[in-house]
Amino acid sequence: MAAFASTDRIFEPAMESVFGPGDRYDEFVILRELGTGSFARVYAAMSPDYEDPIALKLSRSVLGDEATALRALREVRILETLTNPHVVHIHDHGMGRDDRWYMVMELLRGADMLAVHDFHEPMDPVRAVRWAYEACVGLDEGHRLGIVHRDIKPENLWIQPSDHLKVIDFGLARGWDASSTMGISATMGHMLVGTPHYSQPEQVKGTPLTPASDVYSIGIVLYELLSARMPLFPKEPCNAVRERLLDEPLEWLSAHVKKPLVPLDKYRDCRKRLPYRLIQIVHWMLQKDPAKRPQTGGAAARSLASVLHGELDAPVAGLVQVQDRDGARSSSLMIPGQHTIGTHDRCLIQVGSDGSNRDLAKINWLGYTHEAIIEPVGAPHPTLRVELNGHPLEGPVRLVPGTVISVGSTRMVLEYPPR
């Protein structure tokens, strides 16, 4: 087992100045403090560059030590690349006159999940599954870029007044494959990262964390939302375990490896309230072996979306209705992100299979408040021409509701979920 080292121990704030309402930090005027983490303090503030208040995340010490600098730079580089509505967005970053690092973010209204839900009672399944779905969609964009969050827990899942969720605090995230934008060398050695409660068996065993590790942590959160129980302790309510093991990180960690998953349908209340397919998906997300889980947030999100569309009657994703050249009809769920129409089986919509393995068009959808953009990929195909309402697709076009996309003799229409 890897040695346990809390992440707070890599960081010792030196001479931290704490700001109150009306204080100035460089060009920012502090409105109020929003929260404190081990690494930074977050303030609501005004800036001459923005009309509305922003969130200012300010490192608690100067960027003197390497671990703090690496952590700050990682978080900025990751967040700058992410655009989907289920992650917090950053506007800017820099170094203050006192050499402290800061990041200017959108100011989120609402509260973290732990402040919104007390985990004493099971939550309505539609709300619980929608939150888990949105967290998976938020993480998926990072997963596609080779980035794992590594610290998924209710405190890092932010619930806005609209009840939509955003993933925050990518401070412990890192690359997991060679194509990552962050680089694998941004390492903190072999110490355990994150929170033991939402940690993963592979972390305890010292094997690398992958996107499937974030899926496991979301699986725990979802299980707890649905049942008010922790998946590894059958006899106690979730909050009793949380309290009992507050200072027992090693017991938490060994439970992830040694304690079997308590099936959700062991609880009569869950058997009665929850669709069987949902129970199976939660069990899938919580497999001890990462290779047996959904491999990315996107894979988990698609499964959760299909239960929301089907058994729970609460559509969240796009639905592409397809009619092929023989008149046969089918449909595909489309979660926010990038998708392709083409001739190979990794495409969201596969049109014909002439052995060419080509993408013909790509669709980018930011999610519930947006319309998707479709654009052609590469030179036009000799027979599989992409058309919108009968006109050739020559550049990026917004897919307004009702637009008919045709590729050769396949026709399709994208239906958006209700807002």
Q: Which residue positions form the known binding site for ATP?
A: 57
* Segment (H or E) for 140: helix 125-144
Write the burial class of residue 391 (CB in 10 Å: 0-12 exposed, 13-18 middle, 19+ buried): exposed
Nearest-CA neighbor of 186 among 13, 67, 8, 64?
67
- The crossing angle, in degrees rounded to 10, of helices 297-309 and 125-144 is 150
Residues 32-51 that bind ligand ATP (CB under 6 A): 34-40, 42
Nearer to ligand ATP among residue 34 and residue 63 (C-beta): 34
Binding to ligand ATP by residue 79, rule CB under 6 A? no
> What's the token pair of residue 132?
């888990």
Q: How many residues bind ligand ATP (CB under 6 A)?
A: 19
Using DSSP's 3-state secondary structure scheme, residue 305 falls into helix
- Give the residue with the Cβ less far from ligand ATP, 37 or 237: 37
Which range, of 165-173, 174-182, 197-205, 275-283, touches ligand ATP by CB under 6 A? 165-173
In the numeric block, which tokens belong to residue 122? 């099971």
Binder to ligand ATP among 78, 82, 108, 412 (CB under 6 A)? 108
What tokens does 376 get?
């052609």
Tell me how far, at minimum, the Cβ of 390 lies from ligand ATP, in Å: 45
For residue 332, give Cα distances in angstroms to 120, 231, 352, 361: 37, 32, 16, 16
Rg value, the chain, Cα: 23
Q: Give yes or no for residue 105 binding ligand ATP (CB under 6 A).
A: yes
From the CB of 89, what's the least distance to ligand ATP, in Å? 9
Q: How far is the CB of 271 from ligand ATP (least distance, A)?
A: 35
The residues, any chain, with a CB within 8 Å of residue 76's CB and separated by 6 or more, are 90, 93, 103
Beta-bridged to residue 415, according to DSSP, are: 319
Q: Which stretch binds ligand ATP (CB under 6 A): 123-131, 142-150, 166-174, 238-246?
A: 166-174
Binding mask 370-389 toward ligand ATP (x if CB under 6 A, else -) reads --------------------
Q: What are phi and psi of 308, to 5 degrees?
A: -65, -40
Binding residue positions = 57
Strand, helix or coil at 197? helix
Tell me how far the alpha carbon of residue 81 is from its chain's centroid.
14
Residue 34 CB, shortest distance to ligand ATP, in Å, is 4
| Least distance between ligand ATP and beta carbon 75 (Å) | 8
Q: Is 73 in the site for ligand ATP (CB under 6 A)?
A: no
Question: Is 107 among the residues that bind ligand ATP (CB under 6 A)?
Answer: yes
d(CA 387, CA 354): 19
- Is the CB of 37 or the CB of 263 nearer to ligand ATP? 37
Q: Which of 292, 283, 281 is nearest to 263 (CA)?
A: 283
**Binding-site member from 125, 171, 231, 376 for ligand ATP (CB under 6 A):** 171
Tell whether residue 55 is a contact of ligand ATP (CB under 6 A): yes
Residue 215 interacting with ligand ATP (CB under 6 A)? no
Active-site residue flag, 124 = no
Closest approach of Cβ 116 to ligand ATP, in Å? 12
Residue among 197, 84, 86 nearest 131 (CA): 86
**Residue reference for tokens 């023989």:** 326
Stretch that binds ligand ATP, among 28-36, 329-337, 373-381, 395-403 (CB under 6 A): 28-36
Reading across the β-sheet that carries 397-398, which strands appear in turn? Answer: 349-350, 337-342, 359-365, 373-376, 397-398
Q: Does 72 bind ligand ATP (CB under 6 A)?
A: no
- Tell me if 155 contacts ligand ATP by CB under 6 A: yes
CB of 151 to ligand ATP, least distance (A): 7
Residues 301-330 that bind ligand ATP (CB under 6 A): none
Q: Give the active site residues.
A: 151
Chain residues in the site for ligand ATP (CB under 6 A): 34-40, 42, 55, 88, 105-108, 112, 155, 168-169, 171
